Every structure is written in C-alpha cells, then in structure tokens.
Amino acid sequence: MNRRISFVLVTLAAIAAALFSVAPAAASRTAAASRTSTTHRARRACPAASAAGRDRAVPSCLAQASRRATARVASVTRRATHSKRRPPRKSGSTTTASTTTTAGTTTSAAATIGSASTKTTTTTTTTTSSTAGAASVVSGPLIVGLNANVSGWGGASTAPELNLVTSTTGAKWLREEFAWDTIEPSRGVFDFSYYDHFMLLAAQAGEHVLPLLYETPSWAGPAQDSIPSDATAFSQYVAAVVGRYGTNGTVWQQYPSLKASAIQTWEIWNEPYLGSGDDGNYDPAAYANLVRASAIAGRAVDPNAKFLMAAEMQSALDAQGQWQWWVDALYQAVPDLNNYFDGVAMHDYGNDTTTLNPIVYGQPYPNDGHILRIEDLRQQFIGHGAADKPFWITEAGWSTCDDDPGCVTDAQQAANYNTMFQDINTTWSGFVQAIFVYRYGDGSQPTTMQDGYGLTNLDGSAKPALAVFEQEQSLAGT
C-alpha cells in the first residue's frame, strides 16, 4: 500500500517448498523436502533468476516501499514467497478448443453466492466500523477450506498427496491454482490433461475446488504475474476452463457420476493490488477490466458461474497526488462493476487480532496488520452499492518461524485461528462465506517466514492449529 512511512524491504531468497511423502516416517518426509520445487510469486517478480532458472529472490520492486507501511512487511514478504510446485510443461496431446455456450440450470454442490442465511450476528470485538445488524448475504454453511497446492504435485504424486492432505485434515475444500500458461501454452491451444487428472482425483475423493485463475503465458504478457494488456486473451482462457470444469463442463459429461464436484465459484487473479500481483505494477483499471471481461466470457459458457474479485485496503497516490483507495479506483475504471463479480476475495493476514483504528480518507490506511480491516473493506463495498456481495477469505494464516518479528509461537498460531473463527462465526457471519487457511504444511525451511505457515511441521507432525482447523471444518459441515 502507498504510505508516507518509508521503509526498506529486506530481500528474501525464495526457497523451494518441501515435497511431502505419504510415508509416515519423519525421515521420509525430510528426504522429500530436499527435492526442489518452485516458488509461487518471487521467482517471477523481477527479471533476475537464480542458477536453477526458476526461483527468484524477492526484489525491492516487490515492496514498492512508497506503497507499504512497516506493519505490512511480514505479510508482503510471505505472499511474495509462497512455495508451490509448478505443473510440468507437457509434450502430450493438445487440443485446439473452441468455446461452446451451453445454457443450463444444473445445480452444483459448490456453494451458491448471494442468498439469505439464518446465521446470528453478534459483536464480540471492539471495532470502529459496525458490521453487526446488516442483512446476511451468505448462502448455506460456512466453507472452511485449505491452501495445499495438491494440484502442483502432478502425475503419480497427486493422488498420494491428495490422500495425505485430506486424511490428515478432513478438508473438503481446496484452493488450487489453475495455471493459464499450462492450460493454454499457445494461444487458442488448450491442454486440459494436467488438470483433468487432478480434478477427477479430487472429485472421486468428494472434494470441492476453488480455482485461482492466474499465471500469464509468455505469448500473452512479459511475466507470469503480469495482467495481460489484452483482457480478451484472459477471458478466452476463463471461458475454456469454465467450459471444461464448470457446472455444464465437458469433463462431467464424460464422468457424470462425479458432477457433484463441478466448479461454480472462480477466483480471478492473485493479489493484483500488490506489485507482486501484476509484475511490479499498480493498475486497478487493468484488473477491473479483467474482471469484467472474465465474467462476461465465463457466464456465456456457464450461467451458473460465480466470480470472486480480489480486493484489499490498498491505497496509492493518484495523478493529482491524492490518496485513492483500491476499491474506489476499481469502480472509477468500471462504474457498473457490481454486474461483473459475485463475491470479494480477501487475504486477511495480521498479528493484531482485536483492534481497529479509525480511517481518514486522504490519509494512509492505519490498519495494516489488523485482521479486523475486513470490516473497513466491506464498508468500502457497501459504499459502492455492493452490500450483497459476500466475502471469501481465500488466504489467512500465521507463521511459526523464528527469523522475523511477525513470527508467532505454535500456541499463538492456534489462538489466532481461534480468534479469527470466532469473528467469522459471530460478528462477520452475515457476510463471510468462506475461509481458506494458508497452508497445509511447512516448507523446507520452516524457521523462515514464508515456510512456517503450515498446520503441520516438516516431519508431518501436527501443530496445535491443525486441531482448530479440523474442529471448524467439521462444525461447518463442508
């Protein structure tokens, strides 16, 4: 975020995440952790690459120090160094796919956004912006999911990793990246084989998937995290993926008994409000136009499709030198934006779990690092006539590392999750539809910020927070 508080973001090396073995022995999991995987954002944030050609150090461009307050440093560095295993480039069969519009009213098992709920709203925390008393905009029970990167393992590793994650946690919802550059390596040529394998395994296990639509191929943009200047290209990819895995998807026509896991809700892009979400750029207009094009294309293929738009309490100086909120800038670019998204995707990180300071328009945002800022963000959308849009917290977590002031103990990690779930189940129950915990397991260097977010340790043993997750997802009935 743009701030008048200057700071220097220390360059972090993006460390490969551990591959998890299904063997229960600690030695087996530790050995698996030594194998190299690629990083989620840092490897593509700036031009310089490591000797491996895949991992990137977190550059100063990621910080764009004039945008962020010191309290945000830990959160930004974590997000810039997500670990993941990229889908391999395939040499197998590909198909040149045309998008077919198929109207239908099939109901997916995935949650429908927007209808009324009977949850009770009460206030249990001290805040400065009220969320209690408003009509509920969520549908059905709370969705409690997990960021686990199961799809990133690929091939023969996918099934055992899926079994490990689901048997250990009981998770029924997974947030997984559907990489554009893997699905459409050349314009108009779609290869679904990698994600067919994952989706069929997930469906057979009774899992539901929240796809993150992301990763620009080289033919569409200068970097994998750059929002393409031609929103049409991205929207064609969206239409192809929705046409394959949505409620009218062609894959379910081949496997009708698995259609209960058809995808209805789709997340558009990852953290575009940060430089790491758009190749170092801050461009709300580009993202707003991407949302509009994606919704139009996706709904033409599947009228049941719902789209999540990413937002934060981000601000930046406009051309006149005035502070402008990210959400305001989105609506300035696309005034009828409410027609093109069905929910808000937020990443609610922060070590302050109980307070919220008053905000002043025209001044830098004061609540970086406060999880209650979700209430400020909702007020922004209410102000733009979007009170009916539920929130999906698609990432939230605390790192149990020991190399950063933002680290917490295992006990505090569990306590923080308890606090967040209490807020979700009470004060926020009328507008929070889902939460996806970040993440299943620690990375290969759990003493570092980016690798310490797991619910399980590197050796596979559980942290106390795992019990909190298991209880909440069980109560949610998802």
> Domain total for the chain?
1
Q: Which CATH number is 387's domain given?
A: 3.20.20.80
In 3D, which of 166, 194, 200 has the Cα closest to residue 182? Answer: 194
pLDDT given at position 241: 98
| Mean pLDDT calculated for residue range 168-185 | 97
- Say yes or no to pLDDT of 168 above 60: yes
Lowest-confidence pick of 6-20, 78-92, 354-368? 6-20
Assign 403 a pLDDT band (cuts: 50, 70, 90): confident
Residues 121-132 have pLDDT tens digits of: 333 333 334 444
- Give the mean pLDDT of 379-400: 98
**Does residue 47 lie within any of the structural domains?**
no
pLDDT in tens, 442-467: 999 999 999 999 999 999 999 999 99
- Which pLDDT does position 60 carry in this prediction? 29
- 326's enclosing H/E stretch is helix 326-333
* pLDDT greater than 60 at residue 329: yes
| Per-residue model confidence as pLDDT tens digits over 275-312 | 788 998 899 999 999 999 999 999 999 999 999 999 99
Nearby residues of 180 by Cβ (< 8 Å), 6 or more positions away: 213, 214, 215, 216, 217, 220, 234, 237
Mean pLDDT of the 50-63 span: 27
Cα–Cα separations (whole angstroms), residue 285 to 219, 246, 281, 335: 22, 27, 11, 11
For residue 113, is pLDDT > 70? no
292 vs 195: CA distance, rounded Å: 25
Position 360: which residue type?
Answer: V
Q: Which of 380, 348, 443, 376 is nearest to 148 (CA)?
A: 443
* Three-class secondary structure of residue 258 per DSSP: helix
Portion of the chain with pLDDT greater than 70, in percent: 72
**Residue 321: predicted pLDDT:** 82
The yes-or-no verdict on residue 422 having pLDDT over 50 is: yes
Q: Report whether pLDDT(44) > 90.
A: no
Is 77 contained in some domain?
no
324 confidence band (pLDDT: 50, 70, 90): confident
* Mean pLDDT, range 154-174, rounded to an integer: 96
Q: Which of 139-143, 273-277, 337-341 has the lowest mean pLDDT?
A: 273-277
> Does some domain include residue 51?
no
- Who contacts 311 (Cβ-Cβ below 8 Å, separation ≥6)? 273, 326, 327, 330, 344, 345, 346, 377, 380, 381
- Summarised one tens digit per residue, pLDDT across range 187-198 is 999 999 999 999
Binned at pLDDT 50, 70 and 90, residue 362 comes out as confident
Bridge partner residues of 212 (DSSP): 177, 267
**38-42, 276-280, 304-308, 381-385: least confident range:** 38-42
Query: With bands split at pLDDT 50, 70 and 90, how would you rate the model's confidence at 5?
Result: very low
Mean pLDDT, the chain, whole residue set: 78
Give the residue with greater pLDDT, 259 vs 403: 259
Q: Residue 127 is part of which domain span?
A: 106-476
Q: Name the token pair of 458.
A: 């590197």
Rounded mean pLDDT of 411-431? 98
Q: Tell me if 204 is assigned to some domain.
A: yes
Strand partners, 189: 96, 186
Domain-located, residue 184:
yes
228 CB-near residues (< 8 Å, 6+ apart)? 216, 220, 221, 234, 290
How far out from the chain centre does Cα 7 lie?
A: 26
pLDDT at 134: 63
pLDDT at 323: 84
pLDDT in tens, 13-33: 333 333 333 333 333 333 333
Q: How far apart are CA 169 and CA 179, in angstroms?
A: 25
Q: Residue 86's pLDDT is what?
A: 45
pLDDT of residue 230: 86
405 within some domain = yes
Four-point Cα dihedral 398, 117, 132, 395, nearest 10: 20
* SS3 state at 50: coil
Is 32 part of any domain? Answer: no
Report the alpha-carbon distance of residue 405 to residue 403 in Å, rounded.
Answer: 7
Q: What is the pLDDT of residue 29?
A: 32
CB 246 within 8 A of CB 287: no
Give me the mean pLDDT over the 237-252 stretch: 98
Q: Give the count of alpha carbons within 13 A of 6, CB side only.
A: 0
Please give the share of the chain, as a percent, with pLDDT higher than 90.
64
**Which pair of structure tokens corresponds to residue 248?**
């009218």
Query: Cα Rg for the chain, rounded, in angstroms?
Result: 21
Q: Tell me the pLDDT band of 85, cut-offs 50, 70 and 90.
A: very low
Residue 38 lies in a domain: no
